[in-house]
Chain A
Amino acid sequence: MADVLTDAMRKAEHEMVVCNACRYCEAYCPVFQAMEERVTFQPADLTYLANLCHNCGECLYACQYAPPHEFNIDVPRTLSRVRVESYESLAWPSFASIAFRRPWSATCAALAAGALTLAPVARAFMARATNKPAAFYDVIPHDVMVTLFGVIGLFVFAAIAIGHRRFAGGANPGDSRATHKGLRHGRLVSRQRAVRDALTLKHLHATGEDCVDAEEQRRPWRRWLHHCTFYGFALCFASTAVAAIYHSVFGWIAPYAYTSVPVVLGTAGGLGLVVGPAGLLVLDLHRDAALTDASERSLGFAFLTMLLLTSVTGLLLLVFRGSPYMPALLVVHLAIVLALFVTFPYGKFVHGIYRGAALLKFRREESV
């Protein structure tokens, strides 16, 4: 990871020094508790703190040093900027980090690439077929689908794993392996706590109340919509996994009945992925711009749009799978899913990876 101090990091360092001398925000969230464990703030520390921050916004409105005060403290926005910079510097391969600076271009390029890959396949395959396509695999052959998504999936997994490793390595320099039994148990407990923190979004309501949209406006929507998005995504993933088992183990070929497990899971997940991202888009458009760096807002908007496109086209495909529009819808849906996949390591998706790693590090530091 880059050790250069960027302007944002310099600002974050200044802010952490001021915050560390004040400490009135201590009870808001782990960022301030982790900060108090430190006297100096190296780039690795700032990257860790930035990814630990859930951007709840409380500390900005509470701060007597917020603009127009000459100390110019805006922790949520500064850490938001540092966070995006950390996504860039952790990205593998490094040239792909440009996607974080131009999220819409990256999204459009990925969509075009997806369409340009799938459309010709569909056209060539359907041209050879004699009867009208009835099943998905009459449009895109199963083997093509599996190969394409398998290869891309492996690449995406590798890219994310490398980023994660870079983050964890930078955040835990000299972290030795646990050999002692008690230590190992402690690590297990830390991990369980971190997983619970992540799955419940604990730090969006760490003080017992929800995070702010604006001054003194605490509403639960951001948390619930994120839950819809996250668990919607998880259900869709589960649906695909079940379908893969149906296909490879039992030899049952899609499409499956409306009451089948993959379709029920996929429908529920798809609905979550409509409600969640659409709601978050609306919320974020109305959220105080002082809370988030513009670069992170764009990343969020691009990612939410892609999730929304995925779920909407998926549900449309479900409804119109028996109609003549099916082949076109299938190609569009798969192209979007492909683009979503490819951009996972180069967009807002990575926040989950680094946030999770930061939460784990926080719980580990806490248990020491």
Chain B
Amino acid sequence: MHTTPTDVLTDAYPEDEFMADLLRVTGGATDQTLARMMIRASADLPRRMNRFGVRFQPSIRGTLHLARTNAFFLGGGKALMNSAYAAAERSDVRIVYEADVVGLCIRDGRFESAEVKTPHGTEAITARTVVLAAGGFESNLEWLAEIWGDAANNFIVRGTPYNTGTVLRLMLDAGAEPVGDPSQCHAVAIDARAPKFDGGIVTRLDSVPLGIVVNKHGDRFYDEGEDYWPKRYAIWGRLVAQQPDQIAYSIVDSKAIGRFMPSVFPPIVADSIRELASTLGVPAGTLAATIERFNAAVRPGTFDHQTLDDCRTEGLIPNKTHWAQRLDTPPFHAYPLRPGITFTYLGVKVDERARVVLNGGLAENIFAAGEIMAGNILGRGYVAGVGMTIGTVFGEIAGRESRDTAARHARHG
């Protein structure tokens, strides 16, 4: 939040508006005390992060209307991490790379040691306190399959392959209280040609509202013109996940070219619908019929990509309620879509000092930060940038509390 324009944000994003956004997207699945704490702490975040060399950009031109609510990291997330690691190294923090936490020794609600696997073998690291910041389980395909079945095999993981949820599961097994919807993940529709892991931002596709989306049988299945980004963005992942083989195709004609952010993968281009269908492997007869029905149902209107315009269809199931234009100007362009999973919601419950709730009580020396506890605030849904805010605010809290607790233990022997 911020109350006046800053160097990296325009206008104001008041506390209550932020809170209202959060309540709306989560449908109330948020711990309001923690949420308010986070929102208040976010006001001064850019300045505090700046001290560690983190820089923000003035505003991204290519992104839609986010300059008021979102400050963007200069260079993105990896640049942020580089700054954070460099700051840690300057403070003589020892960083061990290629190290997996494979076990936690917790006795009577107290952390004693972590079993860490490195290329040199497995060792137990004892400590007075521990901060768990090990993410969710979105790159653990077996875990995903427990929830979504075989469909999970066709999911693409947008981020790192290392978010396997090992620490999350260890904690839940040790009696940590779960929080956040265990059966849900945040998924968007991305280009099906994306790498299995780590395709990141460039695999997103913005072409959906400019044309139609069909499944592998050549049928439409949802209103492509329902809403703007980011609401649209957030629902299409699940929509595609529900289609046979978790694949769909966004089809536009040449009128749409240049109206959406360039994609990293080239479009599949054809001069006729039949040719396009055969390239995509979609039944040509069905696709042609789908488009014919769609074109016949388009009502006249004034196309305006920037507003919820009056271009719509009538008499279709489902209708396209905005930005509906006939697909009649070859060449036709298609992009294959798959669900791209961003993060999972399941986490461990924490208190306002970031202490983990364990077996009904509070673990006195176990703290959590980031995606592993984001479900406390974001039980479902998404507000752009909230994951980074939760991670940063609770990272600070967990770090401070962990330091103070360790110091107290050191004094008392």
Contacts and interface: CB of A to CB of B under 8 A. Distances in A.
Contacts of A23: 60-63
Interface string A36-63: 1001000000000000000000110111
Interface in B164-210: 195, 198, 200-204
A216 B201 contact: no
Given A27-B74, A207-B74, A215-B82, A21 B55 contact: no
Which of A22, A25, A58, A71 is most buried by chain B, counting CB atoms within 10 A of its CB? A22
Interface stretch (B256-264, B333-341, B386-394): B256-264
B230 interface: no
A65 B200 contact: yes
Nearest to A70: B195
Contacts of A26: 57, 60-62
A240 interface: no
Nearest to B78: A64
A17 interface: yes
A62 B82 contact: yes
A21 B261 contact: yes
A21 B263 contact: yes
Interface residues of B, number: 32
Interface in B41-63: 53, 55, 57-58, 60-63
A215 B79 CA distance: 9
Contacts of B385: none
A28 interface: yes
A63 B74 CA distance: 11
A18 B200 CA distance: 11
Contacts of B195: 70-71
A61 B82 contact: yes
Given A62-B79, A207-B55, A24 B198 contact: no
Contact of B72 (A24, A39, A63, A70): A24
Interface in B131-189: none
Contact of B75 (A18, A59, A70): A59
Which of A69, A207, A216 is most buried by chain B, counting CB atoms within 10 A of its CB? A216
Contacts of B264: 17-18, 21
Interface string A55-92: 00011011111000111000000000000000000000
Nearest to B76: A24
A64 B198 contact: yes
A42 to B, nearest CB: 15
B78 A62 contact: yes
Given A18-B264, A24-B201, A39-B262, A64 B82 contact: no
A213 to B, nearest CB: 13
Contacts of A63: 78
Which of B57, B58, B202, B262 is most buried by chain A, counting CB atoms within 10 A of its CB? B202
Interface residues of A, number: 27
A20 interface: yes
B201 A20 contact: no
Contact of A62 (B63, B76, B258, B262): B76
B79 A65 contact: no
Contacts of A27: 57-58, 74
Nearest to A63: B78
A10 to B, nearest CB: 14
Which of B55, B262, B263 is most buried by chain A, counting CB atoms within 10 A of its CB? B262
B316 interface: no
Contacts of B76: 22, 24-25, 62, 64
Contacts of A64: 76-78, 198, 200
Interface string A132-146: 000000000000000
A215 B82 CA distance: 7
A61 B258 CA distance: 30
Given A18-B202, A27-B58, A36-B61, 10 more contacts: A17-B264, A21-B261, A21-B264, A26-B62, A27-B57, A28-B75, A36-B62, A39-B258, A62-B76, A62-B79
Report, nearest first, the 10 A-B pairs whose CB atoms are least far apart.
Answer: A62-B75, A24-B76, A27-B57, A216-B86, A62-B79, A21-B202, A21-B264, A64-B78, A23-B62, A22-B202
10 contacts: A22-B76, A22-B202, A23-B60, A23-B61, A28-B75, A39-B262, A63-B78, A207-B74, A216-B53, A216-B85
